[in-house]
């Protein structure tokens, strides 16, 4: 049994046993976030930070599209060079193909810019954590990032080191970017300490879910964002066709024209999953996150004691 299938069955079993609260958050804790036409995020900056081009579009494409439409300015920080993700291209051709697809994603979803950190795909666990963190801190200060999207550094059963190493670096960089004594030489170049205040973490396996975003109105933008990752989607489609052929099977809609097959695959793999997620929360299509917002622990004290200066 493949690990993914096992996790899905395990999650279903937990949901039925009442232990789901421990993994997915109790009903009281889950906030449903819906679209807002009042531009509530004007002036704010978000960054999607993932090792691979397709991570964000697949797990958070609808929410990112929603927040950009509500006023955020967005940036994409890709930590790996995606050199392993293509169907029968060489390593060098794969890097270039995914670099071109990255430019396409930036345009499609409406990011202002992307930054490629260029670490070798599948090998980020050999990268110095402090170097990766330092580069992220630089970018968080430079771009004045308020909100990040990344893999959940505490998600369970994540098997890809690129995912969990990037996630851990993002988590630490979010608060260290506010430190006066962390990388202080950056201040001489004009940067200022700057903490990231909101985090949306997504995961492939079980995670503590406390935020569900209604992405129904943004599904077309999400599909277009996934389609931008053409090299990777073609890889998935062709790998699936190869494995079906080994079992003596063929799905006509996934064979033939690649563009049509890719659209069919995106529907079958990702749109169906978002529909299933939505159904759990009374929505048509949804994405789930562990959301961490600003620390409210002193809010009451401040409202009682603070004076204008
Ligand atoms: Zn990935």
Instruction: Report pLDDT digits (tens) over 60-90.
Output: 999 999 999 999 999 999 999 999 999 999 9
Predicted TM-score (pTM) of the model is: 0.90
pLDDT value of residue 8? 42
For the chain, the average pLDDT equals 92
Residue 292 burial (CB count, 10 A): 17
Task: Give me ligand 1 centre to Cα 53, in Å.
Answer: 7
206 alpha carbon – ligand 1 mean position (Å): 16
What is the rounded distance in angstroms from the CA atom of residue 250 to the CA atom of residue 245? Answer: 6
Gap from CA of 166 to ligand 1 centroid (Å): 10
Task: Give the pLDDT mean for 159-163.
Answer: 97
Q: Is the pLDDT at 21 greater than 70, yes or no?
A: no
Residue 7's pLDDT is what? 40
Higher pLDDT, 245 or 26: 245
Distance, CA 68 to ligand 1 centroid (Å)? 22
Cα 292 to ligand 1 centroid, rounded to whole Å = 22
* Cα–ligand 1 centroid distance for 51 (angstroms): 6
The mean pLDDT of 39-57, rounded to a whole number, is 97
**pLDDT for res 60:** 98
Provide the phi-psi class of 135: left if phi over 0, else alpha when psi is between -120 and 50, else beta. alpha
Distance 120 CA to ligand 1 centre (A): 13
Q: Phi and psi (nearest 5°) for 25? A: 85, 140
Query: Which secondary-structure segment (H or E) carries 211?
Result: strand 211-214
How many angstroms is it from 284 CA to the middle of ligand 1?
26
The residue ranking higher by pLDDT, 200 or 296, is: 200
pLDDT tens-digit series, residues 98-118: 999 999 999 999 999 999 999
Q: Tens of pLDDT along 217-236? A: 999 999 999 999 999 999 99
The strand pairing partners of 290, in sequence order, are 201
**Domains of the chain in sequence order:** 31-294 (3.40.50.10320)
Q: Is the pLDDT of residue 211 over 90?
A: yes
- The alpha carbon of 85 and the centre of ligand 1 are apart by a number of angstroms equal to 10
Ligand 1: centre distance to CA 58 (Å): 10
- Give the pLDDT mean for 207-215: 97
Distance 162 CA to ligand 1 centre (A): 7
**pLDDT score at 26:** 47
The alpha carbon of 39 and the centre of ligand 1 are apart by a number of angstroms equal to 31
pLDDT bracket for residue 28 (50, 70, 90): low
pLDDT at 23 over 70: no
250-291 pLDDT tens trace: 999 999 899 999 999 999 999 999 999 999 999 999 999 999
Q: How much distance in Å is there from the Cα of 57 to the middle of ligand 1? A: 11
Average pLDDT over residues 202-221: 97
Torsion on CA atoms 252, 256, 258, 260, rounded to nearest 10: -50
H or E element that contains 238: helix 230-246
């Amino acid at each position: 049994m493949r690990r993914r299938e096992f996790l899905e069955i395990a999650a279903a079993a937990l949901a039925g046993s009442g232990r789901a609260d421990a993994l997915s958050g109790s009903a009281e804790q889950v906030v449903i976030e819906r679209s807002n036409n009042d531009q509530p995020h004007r002036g704010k900056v978000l960054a999607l930070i993932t090792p691979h081009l397709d991570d964000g579009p697949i797990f958070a494409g609808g929410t990112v599209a929603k927040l950009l439409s509500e006023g955020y300015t967005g940036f994409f920080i890709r930590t790996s060079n995606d050199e392993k993700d293509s169907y029968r291209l060489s390593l060098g051709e794969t890097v270039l193909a995914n670099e071109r697809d990255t430019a396409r994603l930036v345009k499609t979803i409406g990011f202002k810019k992307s930054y490629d950190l260029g670490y070798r795909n599948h090998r980020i666990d050999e990268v110095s954590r402090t170097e990766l963190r330092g580069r992220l801190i630089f970018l968080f200060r430079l771009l004045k990032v308020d909100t990040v999207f990344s893999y959940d550094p505490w998600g369970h059963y994540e098997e890809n080191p690129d995912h969990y190493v990037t996630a851990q670096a993002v988590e630490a960089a979010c608060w260290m970017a506010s430190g006066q004594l962390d990388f202080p030489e950056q201040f001489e170049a004009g940067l200022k300490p700057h903490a990231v205040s909101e985090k949306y973490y997504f995961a492939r396996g079980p995670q503590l879910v406390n935020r569900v975003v209604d992405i129904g109105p943004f599904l077309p933008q999400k599909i277009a964002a996934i389609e931008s990752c053409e090299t990777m989607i073609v890889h998935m489609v062709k790998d699936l066709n190869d494995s079906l052929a080994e079992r003596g099977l063929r799905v006509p809609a996934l064979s033939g024209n690649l563009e049509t097959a890719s659209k069919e695959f995106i529907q079958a793999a990702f749109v169906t999953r978002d529909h299933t997620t939505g159904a759990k929360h009374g929505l048509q299509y949804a994405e789930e996150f562990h959301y961490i917002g600003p620390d409210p622990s002193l809010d009451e004290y401040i409202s009682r004691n603070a004076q204008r200066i």
